[in-house]
Amino acid sequence: MSAAVRRVGVVGGGQMGAGIAEVCARAGLDTVVCEAGATAARAARERVAVSLERAVQRGKLDRISAEDALARLVFSGSLDDLADRQLVIEAVTEGARVKTETFAALDKIVEDPAAVLATNTSSLPVMCLGMATGRADRVVGLHFFNPVPVLPLVEIVSSLHTTADTLATVEAFARDALGKTVIRSQDRAGFVVNALLIPYLLSAIRMAESGYATAADVDAGMELGCAHPMGPLKLADLIGLDTVAAIAQSLYDEFKEPLYAPPPLLRRMVQAGRLGRKSGRGFHTYDRGR
């Protein structure tokens, strides 16, 4: 098996990328976060700093450890700063074109031919991303869940090209370095969790869309009637309605099952910029400052 991963790169410092970077830094790893320019890099750093402070305030992390984690992170506006990484995790927008372009660029920049290029995609084929590189055998899906510092699961997804050594390297990284629970999936749209979760969320959206029940009642029904910690429409808002729509479309494109098709209301909300928590309004309304 390849040497243990100590130098990690994360491409994208949004909600998911910042969370991935945080758990890597908290695990003592040398971590570089790359964003699309200096302004976005500063915003990513602030995102991680706020999350670490929240962990301190909640008693989940002591202040010295939080300060050490933040000091361990480097935020950059250039992919070139990832040249020496042993593992690079892509966490950019959930779109085939931008992810493919990112992998093609990383293939030219990351110097070590044994380095692993991983994607945090929720639903796109790992095979397609691997084929954008000259090292498809070292490309793998490494799908975290939001919020990354809290949720313990990681899905590892292999394509037809991914080698056993690559899988062993990323599984050891996720399990031993990050302390995550690992499940494996074949390279199918939605993998394990979203293939089960998205039809449930879409069913709840259709229920609200038809006027069958209000969003508040749909969520209360599943929280209080089924002991779910969060109702489906609150969960969709947390994930991001644009992300839910993108995953649903990927599932529908692959399987052509009607239950995967994004409902018209979901499409209209995305077009209107009502994306859930990150925009302040989705099926529910949120204070964006919290």
3: confidence class by pLDDT, cuts 50, 70, 90: low
Residue 272 CB neighbour total at 10 angstroms: 11
Enter the tokens of residue 67: 């300060």
Is the pLDDT higher at 123 or at 219?
219
Instruction: Choose, from 159, 194, 250, 279, the residue flagged as catalytic.
Output: 194
Enter the tokens of residue 228: 């779910």
Please count the helices (runs of H) and the strands (runs of E) in the chain.
11, 8
Candidates 215, 214, 232; CA nearest to 223 is 232
User: What's the CATH number where 200 sits?
Assistant: 1.10.1040.10
Please indicate whether residue 122 is annotated as part of the active site. Answer: yes
Q: What is the pLDDT of residues 159-192, one digit of tens each?
A: 999 999 999 999 999 999 999 999 999 999 999 9
Same domain, 108 and 250: no
Same domain, 202 and 69: no
Task: Among 134, 167, 186, give the residue marking a domain's end.
Answer: 186
Query: Looking at 82-91, 169-178, 266-275, 281-290, which range is the least confident one?
Result: 281-290
Q: Is the pLDDT of residue 258 over 90?
A: yes
User: Does pTM top 0.75 for this prediction?
Assistant: yes
Q: What residues contact residue 117 under an 8 Å CB cut-off, 6+ apart?
A: 88, 90, 103, 106, 107, 110, 130, 133, 135, 138, 139, 140
Residue 290 is assigned to a structural domain of this protein: no
Enter the tokens of residue 270: 């995305």
63: confidence class by pLDDT, cuts 50, 70, 90: very high
Please tell me the distance from the alpha carbon of residue 153 to that of residue 141, in angstroms, as a whole number. 13
Q: Is the pLDDT of residue 250 over 60?
A: yes
The pLDDT value given to residue 22? 97
Q: Is the pLDDT of residue 126 over 70?
A: yes
Enter the tokens of residue 220: 């209360």
Same domain, 158 and 110: yes
Please tell me the distance from the alpha carbon of residue 160 to that of residue 56, in angstroms, as a whole number. 43
Task: Among 186, 216, 249, give the residue marking a domain's end.
Answer: 186
Residue 238 is assigned to a structural domain of this protein: yes
Instruction: Choose, from 35, 90, 94, 155, the residue flagged as catalytic.
Output: 155
Same domain, 88 and 140: yes
Residue 168 is assigned to a structural domain of this protein: yes
Same domain, 180 and 211: no
Candidates 268, 267, 196; CA nearest to 232 is 196
Asked, as a colleague might, if the bond just before 262 is cis with ω within 30 of 0, I would say no
Residue 287 is assigned to a structural domain of this protein: no
2: confidence class by pLDDT, cuts 50, 70, 90: low
Candidates 259, 242, 262; CA nearest to 122 is 242
1: confidence class by pLDDT, cuts 50, 70, 90: very low
- The pLDDT mean for the chain works out to 95
Q: Is the pLDDT of residue 288 over 80?
A: no
Please indicate whether residue 185 is annotated as part of the active site. Answer: no
Instruction: Choose, from 90, 143, 159, 185, the residue flagged as catalytic.
Output: 143
Please tell me the distance from the alpha carbon of residue 222 to that of residue 7, in angstroms, as a whole number. 42
Q: What is the pLDDT of residues 7-26, one digit of tens each?
A: 999 999 999 999 999 999 99
Provide the 3-class DSSP secondary structure of residue 272: coil
Residue 24 is assigned to a structural domain of this protein: yes
**Domain, as residue range, for 238:** 194-278
User: What's the CATH number where 148 sits?
Assistant: 3.40.50.720
Over residues 262-273, the mean pLDDT reads: 98
Provide the 3-class DSSP secondary structure of residue 119: strand
Same domain, 204 and 114: no
Q: Identify the residue whose tokens are 């729509």.
A: 245
Tell me the H-state helices in 27-131: 38-57, 63-71, 96-109, 126-130
Residue 236 is assigned to a structural domain of this protein: yes
CB distance 233 to 208 below 8 Å: yes
